[in-house]
Structure 1
């Protein structure tokens, strides 16, 4: 198999893995499914290993196929970069940057940075999808994603934006009417506002004991269950109860006295972080590199993303 045949075969293999079928790969590449199958079979023969197990309904990667797919993506990205390097020779990075982010973080943190990004790099265009579901960067065609939670190890490059600390908050009006809890057990007497994630799981609250133990507070029977972190803050502001929210969502309202922090000494702030992720590449496209650098610089300058827990004492009830 000569070099040109090998490249065609590798492209067919990657497309087949992404689409889950030879027919889907053929439609993407503009060739027949039989040609895709032949290319993949030729690649397997040249390598001396089976990369895919075929059935009438699906394609499944073998262990060798999964390992080869990771390396093949890097190789193809390097070939794509060779073209991008020609563009990079020009003074201004050019092209479209596709970003995936959650709805709340996108509106509150990302959008305010985009005017400055466009002003600095006027030849860039930006496309942002606001979606709380975790997207597949490579398969869905994104250049980068902004994700929050417990970030698992992956083949993606992860750049930390901030730690996502959680806090319990309530409005002064609610606390005046219902009293201020002094220990976790006091929450039995209060109206709770909790968050439900996309998979349907309701988020429990965690508290830390003086001995380092962690106690989990079940919030399944909360007065109000919401899926939007912004809505949790709004419900707390409306005096509906006590909510566990991200400090960055509540910070401006704490400063204005519209919310108070509760049980600061015992409430566990969580082990969450926000990261900017992009596919691992030997060489990153200039349009993506400048966007990554600019956004990380902007996030680093955001006060509400980097509030130390000690600063919350000033706003404790």
Structure 2
């Protein structure tokens, strides 16, 4: 099988796997179903393995077929990206960029930037999913994701947007009524607002000891447990209690005097970061590359994402 026949056969195989039948694959490729069958049969003969089990009604991939399909997609994508790169040099980057982001960060930090990005690159369009769960970028066909938390090792390319510092905050009205805690033990007498993550874990609060040790406060008995960090900020502003939130969520409320920071020197700010991630690929599509570069530059200029901890001293209760 020569190289041109191999390419035709691989395209037939991928299309048949996606469409679920030779007839549908043939219609998509503009050839007959018999030609699709012949192409795939030739590919299997050249490889020496069966890629599909066929019946009159269904196509089912073999284990070898599943493995070959994953690699075939990468090869086809590389060809598409090569063509896209050449076109981008001539006419500018174009195409749809699929983004996965959390609800809060997507609404507050990402969305205000997209109009400027689209104005700079008119050929781009965006599909943005707001979802706090961690998605599989490759399987779910996303071009990039914005993720916060403790980012572990990954098969993805990760570009750091910022370090996330956590702080304990409460409204002036709440502190006037219940008093300002001076040490972590004082929190036993306060109304706590805490976050529950998607997996069901309630976030504990951590504190620094004089000897460098870290202790945690169990917040299971909080008067309010919410899954949304934005809702925690709203509850704190409304005077419901003391909440642990990301500084970037609380920043505008601190500036406005609607929140105050408590236990700043004792509270551990955490080791969280926000990253922009995209799959490892031999080539990065121009539409993705310019999006990544633009967003990283724009995020670097957002004040609320880069507030140093010493700056919070002026907002202490």
1:250 aligns with 2:250: yes
Aligned to 2:122: 122
Q: Return the alpha-carbon distance in structure 1 between the equivalents of residues 289 and 84 of structure 2.
A: 12
Name the CA shift for 1:230/1:59 in 2 (closer, same or farther; >3 Å): farther
Contact conserved, 1:77 with 1:281, CA < 8 A, in 2?
A: no
With over 3 angstroms needed to count, the CA separation of the structure-2 counterparts of 1:43 and 1:238, relative to structure 1, is farther
Tell me the distance in 1 between the aligned counterparts of 2:145 and 2:86.
25
- State how 1:147-158 maps to structure 2 within 5 Å: 147-158=147-158
Aligned residues: CA RMSD:
3.4
1:26, 1:36 within 8 Å by CA — same for their partners in 2? no
Q: What CA distance in whole angstroms lies between the structure 2 residues aligned with 1:6 and 1:30?
A: 20
Asked if structure 2 preserves the Cα contact closer than 8 Å seen for 1:247 and 1:304, the reply is yes
CA distance in 2: counterparts of 1:179 and 1:135, whole angstroms: 42
Contact 1:191 1:242 in 2 (8 A): yes
| TM-score scaled by length of structure 2 | 0.83
Structure 1: give runs of 5+ residues left out of the alignment: 17-21, 53-57
SS at 1:168 equivalent: strand
**Distance between the aligned counterparts of 1:237 and 1:280, measured in 2?**
42
Q: Give the Cα separation in 2 of the matches to 1:169 and 1:159.
A: 29
Q: Does 1:26 align with 2:20?
A: yes
Query: Quick one: distance in 2 between partners of 1:265 and 1:228?
Result: 26
Contact kept, 8 Å, 2:51 with 2:61, in 1: the verdict is no
1:85 is displaced (CA, Å) by 2.2
In structure 2, the residue matched to 1:161 is 161
**C-alpha displacement at 1:77, in angstroms?**
3.2
Once the two structures are superposed, residues 126-163 of structure 1 have per-residue CA deviations (whole angstroms, 9 ceiling, x without a partner) of 11111111111122121111111111222211111001
CA 1:185 to 1:119, structure 2 compared with 1: closer, same or farther past 3 Å?
same
Secondary structure, aligned partner of 2:152: coil
Is contact 1:12–1:25 with CA below 8 Å preserved after alignment?
no
- Structure 2 gaps of 5+ residues are 27-34, 53-59
Match of 1:216 in 2: 216
Distance 2:131 2:80 in 1: 28
Alignment of 1:59-208 (within 5 A): 74-208=74-208
Q: Give the deviation of 1:295 after TM superposition.
A: 0.8
With over 3 angstroms needed to count, the CA separation of the structure-2 counterparts of 1:230 and 1:2, relative to structure 1, is: same
SS of aligned partner of 1:284: coil
Displacement, 1:91? 3.3
Contact 1:149/1:274, CA 8 A, preserved across alignment: yes
Question: How far has the Cα of 1:25 moved from its partner?
Answer: 6.7
Task: Tell me how far 1:71 sits from its aligned partner.
Answer: 6.4
CA distance in 2, matches of 1:297, 1:101: 18
Query: When the two structures are superposed, what TM-score results if normalisation uses the length of structure 1?
Result: 0.83
Once the two structures are superposed, what CA deviation does each residue of 1:60-84 show, in whole Å capped at 9, x if it has no partner? 979xx87x88866654432121221
Q: Secondary structure at the match of 1:90?
A: helix
> Number of aligned pairs?
306
Moved over 4 A (4+): 4-16, 27-32, 35-52, 58-62, 68-74
CA distance in 1, matches of 2:137, 2:76: 15
Once the two structures are overlaid, the 10-residue window that deviates more, 107-116 or 39-48, is 39-48
CA gap 1:258/1:26 in 2 versus in 1, 3 angstroms: same
- The separation in 2 between residues aligned to 1:206 and 1:262, in whole angstroms, is 13
Name 1:269's counterpart in structure 2: 269
Larger Rg: 2
